Amino acid sequence: MLSLSGCGEADDRPLVSGSVTLDGDPVPEGEVMLVPTDMAVATDAGPIQNGRYRVRTTPGAKRVMIYWERDHPTDKIPGPDPGVMVPRAQQLIPARYNDATELEVQVQPGANTFDFALESE
């Protein structure tokens, strides 16, 4: 469940921003998700563009999940239409940074900067 703010509404939630690199190189695209540890608050997410991200979220402890996928060059799976095969999505970020994340941050009121220097397995 992602939290979205309506068009034209003022958003006074803290801004979280920073950089995301993998093995020293900027992650060109993907998504950063901030998952509250108390689960009473919605998860917020924002895109990664050219190694940078920005997400508005609520203050508090967050688990950070970072994703970057692309189509696998040879692995195919059944598509939406019968008989059509489509490329399988390939996750380029190790699981310890997304589905089995080890990343946590403490979001404070106001602006927050968190840079994530990820390493391949």
Summarize pLDDT for 13-51 with one digit per residue, the tens: 999 999 999 999 999 999 999 999 887 889 999 999 999
Q: Specify if 78 maps to a domain.
A: yes
Domain range for 33: 15-118
Q: Is residue 40 part of a domain?
A: yes
Name 86's bridge partners: 77
Stretch 48-64: mean pLDDT: 97
Query: Quick one: 34 exposed, middle or buried, by C-beta within 10 A (0-12, 13-18, 19+)?
Result: buried
CATH of the domain at 88: 2.60.40.1120
What is this structure's pTM? 0.81
The pLDDT value given to residue 86: 83
In a domain? residue 65: yes
Is the Cα dihedral 50, 105, 13, 100 positive or negative?
Answer: positive
Q: Is residue 24 part of a domain?
A: yes
Report how many domains make up the chain: 1
